[in-house]
Structure 1
Amino acid sequence: MRLTNIMIGLFLGMGLVSSCQSEIEEAQGYGYLQLSSVDVNKSVTTRADVTSSEAIAVDVLDESASVVKHADDWKELNDVLLPVATYTIKAYSADKDKEAQGFDAAPYYEGQTEVAIEANKAKAVEVTCKLAQSMVSVSYSESFKNVFTDYACSIEGADALSISFAKDETRAAYVKSGQALTLKVDFGSGKVFSQEITDNAEAAYYYKVNLDITEEGNASFDITVDQTIHQYDVTVKVPTKQDNPDLKTDDIKSDVSKVWGQFAYLSGACNLEEITSPVQFRYKKKADSEWITVEAVQEEGTKNYSAKVSPLDFNTEYEYYILCGDKTGETCSFTTEAFEAIPNLGLDNWSQNGSWYPNTDGSNSYWATGNEGVAMGGSSNSTGVSDSHTGLAARLETVEVKILGGFIKVKAAGNIFIGSYQTDATNPASSVTFGRPYAGARPTKLSGYFKYQPGATMSSGSVPADRTLTSDECDIYVMLWSGDETIGEGHFITNQTVSEYTRFEIPIEYTVTNKRPDKITIVATSSRYGGYFSGINVIGQLAVGSTLWVDDFELSYY
């Protein structure tokens, strides 16, 4: 199947009837227009060959685009006397619907040209009418039909266009040009494959889609699009968008600062001299057919635009491009960060092996506490309790511990943290190692539930130079590292008595956004400065009896 051009010859009569010639000579400001022949160019044909019998209407328009002469059939437009001026000769299918789509739609042709009427002169002009629609067909390779037996195929477009192609369908369908066309194959049971054929169907292009399977025989398809016009073919492995020099889509796939777990910052530039439409971005999962459009925000004083898109799925490839009106930039892609679960984030799992441990294996295997050190002179001060928001909760209490038969008394804050603990009685500060390896998506917020009761009497001790504590404070915080560098951190600190479980939220501030984390910790302590030591003694100010209950930690990612 090939496409058709219709050539309409418009001749100014050289040998006109004598009466008409006399009129021209008398007027001296008029020319004479006569449509004397139609030439049908059959070097390119469609599925229904167009002959000289094709009904072509003609409009003659003046410089203000007003129709000064019309004929439903070009043959009826004879001996037209026109004032000297420039005219547009517009020819088009007289009995077809340009908006019709599908197998029953008929080909619609149109074209136009300009002609300058000069006094007492005759000249010949022609209008080339080409197909104003696009054509599309679908075929299946034998390999495809051998592998898949149950499937339904359709071509999807704008305004809910959906044209079903049966397995034995050989016809091509006509569709309106200017719209995006997507192939959709439904294999049933919720398994759907889709691939965009073109983001802007060109008039007089015939899109031949052939469904095949890869050499490996899996469900990854090769789609070949043959775009045919004027007897030449363009074959591409997959459909692509041509980059518009005035619209540039930034490739963010390697930009860690812009691609996160459940959101991304799309960016690009619009260099159009006149922006008459909003600048926007479109994005979708690579496997989906439906695009989502979001408004772009211009960076002040520049031609750069950006948009934050969320929520996205973890570890998923997305496509996106910038657009303004009918102009688009190149399609780029990125893959979001993968999700990594934090064990026992709800703090429901506890075990006992001499001391209490916030894991199921009787050790500080992921979460840890200082219970092993406290237990040398007393009992665990960080335990799992049923007084909780749900399930079990962590109860953390600041206590005084007697060691060496009671000759030495030290204070110990209740704590729980992601990390490891190995008691060093001579240097308690070195007993704790915060953090565990982490390769998951960067969280943006830590939330959970807590109660707090500060102790009655503050001990003396060192505090930050800019303040003195009048009441003990609990501290719940999260930190992420890349190597030895802290890249993100957030704290929740309060000295208020909170008797009922209350939700807290901690935004995580990233001071470094161009690196991904390799280690994470979450920490909760009943006394904010209970980890400040000089030798075996706590020098941070705290209060014995301060108790923090914390439960149901949750990390958010957008």
Structure 2
Amino acid sequence: MIGLFLGVGLISSCQSEIDEAKGYGYLQLSSIDVNKGVETRADITESEAIAVDILDESNAVVQHADDWRNLDDVILPVATYTIKAYSADKNMETQGFDAQPYYAGQKDVVIEANKAKNVNITCKLAQTMVSVNCSETFKSTFAGYTCYIEGADALSIPFVEDEARAAYVKAGQPLTVKVDFGNGKSFSQEITSKAEAAYHYKVNLDITEGNAGFDISVDQTIHQYDVTVKVPTKQESADMVTSDIKNDASKVWGQFAYLSGSCNLAEITSPVQFRYKKKADAEWTTIEAVQEEGTKNYSAKVAPLDFGTEYEYYIVCGDKTGETCTFTTESYVEIPNLNFDTWRQKGKNWYANADASDSYWATGNSGVTLIKDATTVPVEGSEAHSGKAAKMTTVDGVMLVGAAAGNLFIGTYKTNMTNPSTSVNFGRDYAGARPVKLSGYYKYTSCAINYGSQPGTLTTDECNIYIRLWDASGTEIGFGEFVSSESVGTYTPFEVTINYSNTQKRPAKLTIVATSSRYGGNFSGKKVVGQVGAGSTLWVDDFELSYY
């Protein structure tokens, strides 16, 4: 981490110069602090030579200093600039044991007339560190081996026996550990599909009597991935290597999987393919493999697969085949009442569950029906797409909070009169397969904004439908949403793609939310401050989750 501080105050002489040129502002580089924030090799000194560039909006350098200490007071025309700090005496493209750590960071700054800017830029290691360690059992089992870390553009870094140094490689590329046993046989395992900058991948090699094993643990406090690879004592041909994906959540989903392997043939006269089948079946399915650019690695997406089912697969080219590996797809867990046909009424409240309570789906009805009718209710006949549908309406004039949006969500609701924003708790436990899309049908009446101040840019109301997933630590791993301000008088299909920010994690909690006013849940104290339009109404029906 490199703290870069620009501009703390103006000395009187510079202030006078600014006053004379009303179209200029002021930057002063006061200090650079070095704090690497990641374990580095012992031969790296504590001091870093840092260069600084100031670039204009056309990306042209308007100020440069090989050493930040030489960048004196800077007066710049009013405009937006990008300030970059980076290692001055190192090459980020160099990879291997001889490469040196390269630090970089940048931030945009808007220069205003007659004003000084105080800007803090955080620089971090722009490369990835990688090292290999072999257990004593591994060393005693195999003799005369060499380990390689391989990546894009034919990267191959040899780690001979007892090599303790770490190497620096470019971030963003796939990394594979390969063990060459010197007898025409080798073993390969991808350790990451995209190496992260400022992290150290510590690859630990051990042995197993069965199929290869693969496990990753991450220590965020020291930016370290501990990658444990169990190498089978019985080795397959070095020509074709099947990668074991069974413990890689990024490759094994509910109804699809990414098969992977490597082909080390000098000349490929036949197409590289994968064969796969259910373990209980006899017949294999063949699919063409796609080569990953700059590597000898191949992959293929296979779909649709059955939930919770064990599959076998191997890589093949001509008469050369890799070892057969297995994986088991994620299991299906049903989300109840996605078609919104089940409703129960209790007093003035309606519930989208069979037991007349907020037992799975919940609404804010109980907070509104103290003085008004329920804002979320079932409808059928011509108001539904099929069976029953959910109708949500935004109302104003609600005691205490001012306004209330109609809503329906997976979670819990319990009215908190002293802090209404905490009445809603989104999400319920979920251990099923990761969906990739949410689809369904909706129609919407958007009314003019007549209440609220946030975000302050709306003239007509917006409906919102979204899905969110969290892992066991409570961190969001997947999200997708649909937003519209257009009034739609007939049921219209919608589709939401779920984007996963972390494909290595499996979900532990899920919610689906629909509301007639996107900002109806924005509170300040006891009052709703989100912009809403009283009368805005959203109908939804026949939701469906897709898994491939």
Question: C-alpha displacement at 1:409, in angstroms?
Answer: 6.6
* 1:256 and 1:513 in contact (8 A); partners too: yes
Q: Runs (4+) of structure 1 moved beyond 3 Å?
A: none
Question: C-alpha displacement at 1:377, in angstroms?
Answer: 1.8
| RMSD over equivalenced CA pairs, Å | 1.3
* 1:269 and 1:304 in contact (8 A); partners too: yes
Question: C-alpha displacement at 1:379, in angstroms?
Answer: 1.1
Counterpart-to-counterpart distance in 2, 1:454 and 1:330: 59
Q: Which residue number in structure 2 is paired with residue 388 of structure 1?
A: 384
Written as runs of structure 1 = structure 2, the 5 A alignment for 1:382-461 is 382-386=376-380, 387-403=383-399, 410-461=402-453
Counterpart-to-counterpart distance in 2, 1:427 and 1:389: 37
Counterpart-to-counterpart distance in 1, 2:477 and 2:319: 41
Unaligned 5+ residue runs, structure 2? Answer: 1-233
Q: Which residue number in structure 1 is paired with residue 9 of structure 2?
A: none
Structure 1 residue identity aligned to 2:388: L
Q: Which residue number in structure 1 is paired with residue 512 of structure 2?
A: 522
Q: TM-score, normalised by structure 1?
A: 0.55
* 1:427 and 1:535 in contact (8 A); partners too: yes
Counterpart-to-counterpart distance in 1, 2:337 and 2:269: 54
Q: For 1:283, what is the secondary structure of its paired residue?
A: strand
Question: C-alpha displacement at 1:468, in angstroms?
Answer: 1.1
CA shift digits 1:279-310 (9 cap, x unpaired): 11110111111111111111110111100000
Q: Which residue number in structure 2 is paired with residue 40 of structure 1?
A: none
Which stretch of structure 1 is more off in the superposition, 533-542 or 254-263? Answer: 533-542
Q: 1:479 aligns with which of 460, 468, 476?
A: 468
Measured at CA, do residues 370 and 409 of structure 1 come closer, stay the same or move farther in structure 2, by a change above 3 Å?
A: closer
Q: Which residue number in structure 2 is paired with residue 91 of structure 1?
A: none
Q: Which residue number in structure 2 is paired with residue 359 of structure 1?
A: 353
Counterpart-to-counterpart distance in 2, 1:300 and 1:351: 57
Counterpart-to-counterpart distance in 1, 2:519 and 2:454: 9
Q: 1:307 aligns with which of 297, 300, 303?
A: 300
CA shift digits 1:391-418 (9 cap, x unpaired): 1100000001443xxxx57100000000
Larger Rg: 1
Written as runs of structure 1 = structure 2, the 5 A alignment for 1:368-379 is 368-379=362-373
Q: Which residue number in structure 2 is paired with residue 505 of structure 1?
A: 495
* 1:389 and 1:449 in contact (8 A); partners too: yes
Counterpart-to-counterpart distance in 2, 1:513 and 1:363: 34
* Number of positions where the alignment pairs a residue of Structure 1 with one of Structure 2: 311
* 1:256 and 1:515 in contact (8 A); partners too: yes
Q: Are residues 1:543 and 2:533 paired?
A: yes
* 1:446 and 1:555 in contact (8 A); partners too: yes
Question: C-alpha displacement at 1:260, in angstroms?
Answer: 0.3
Counterpart-to-counterpart distance in 2, 1:369 and 1:460: 21
Q: Which residue number in structure 2 is paired with residue 129 of structure 1?
A: none
Question: C-alpha displacement at 1:457, in angstroms?
Answer: 3.6
Q: Which residue number in structure 1 is paired with residue 284 of structure 2?
A: 291
Q: Which residue number in structure 2 is paired with residue 331 of structure 1?
A: 324
* 2:398 and 2:404 in contact (8 A); partners too: no
CA shift digits 1:48-68 (9 cap, x unpaired): xxxxxxxxxxxxxxxxxxxxx
Q: For 2:543, what is the secondary structure of its paired residue?
A: strand
Structure 2 residue identity aligned to 1:468: T
* 1:242 and 1:329 in contact (8 A); partners too: no
Written as runs of structure 1 = structure 2, the 5 A alignment for 1:128-143 is none
* 2:239 and 2:263 in contact (8 A); partners too: yes
Measured at CA, do residues 460 and 437 of structure 1 come closer, stay the same or move farther in structure 2, by a change above 3 Å?
A: closer
Q: For 1:419, what is the secondary structure of its paired residue?
A: strand
Structure 2 residue identity aligned to 1:551: D
Question: C-alpha displacement at 1:498, in angstroms?
Answer: 0.6
Q: Which residue number in structure 2 is paired with residue 51 of structure 1?
A: none
Q: Which residue number in structure 1 is paired with residue 244 of structure 2?
A: 251
* 1:488 and 1:508 in contact (8 A); partners too: yes
Q: For 1:442, what is the secondary structure of its paired residue?
A: coil
Written as runs of structure 1 = structure 2, the 5 A alignment for 1:266-285 is 266-285=259-278
Structure 1 residue identity aligned to 2:445: Q
Structure 2 residue identity aligned to 1:475: N
* 2:330 and 2:432 in contact (8 A); partners too: yes
Counterpart-to-counterpart distance in 1, 2:359 and 2:397: 25
* 1:400 and 1:409 in contact (8 A); partners too: no
Structure 2 residue identity aligned to 1:382: T
Question: C-alpha displacement at 1:242, in angstroms?
Answer: 7.3
* 2:277 and 2:284 in contact (8 A); partners too: yes
Structure 1 residue identity aligned to 2:408: I
Counterpart-to-counterpart distance in 2, 1:308 and 1:514: 17
Structure 2 residue identity aligned to 1:503: P
* 1:389 and 1:551 in contact (8 A); partners too: yes
Counterpart-to-counterpart distance in 1, 2:452 and 2:531: 6
Q: Which residue number in structure 1 is paired with residue 545 of structure 2?
A: 555
Unaligned 5+ residue runs, structure 1? Answer: 1-240
Q: Which residue number in structure 2 is paired with residue 469 of structure 1?
A: 458
* 2:254 and 2:305 in contact (8 A); partners too: yes
* 2:401 and 2:528 in contact (8 A); partners too: no
Counterpart-to-counterpart distance in 2, 1:242 and 1:279: 20
Q: TM-score, normalised by structure 2?
A: 0.56
Q: For 1:377, what is the secondary structure of its paired residue?
A: coil
Question: C-alpha displacement at 1:448, in angstroms?
Answer: 0.5
Written as runs of structure 1 = structure 2, the 5 A alignment for 1:227-246 is 243-246=236-239
Question: C-alpha displacement at 1:548, in angstroms?
Answer: 0.2
Question: C-alpha displacement at 1:427, in angstroms?
Answer: 1.3
Measured at CA, do residues 508 and 409 of structure 1 come closer, stay the same or move farther in structure 2, by a change above 3 Å?
A: closer
* 2:403 and 2:451 in contact (8 A); partners too: no
* 2:426 and 2:511 in contact (8 A); partners too: yes
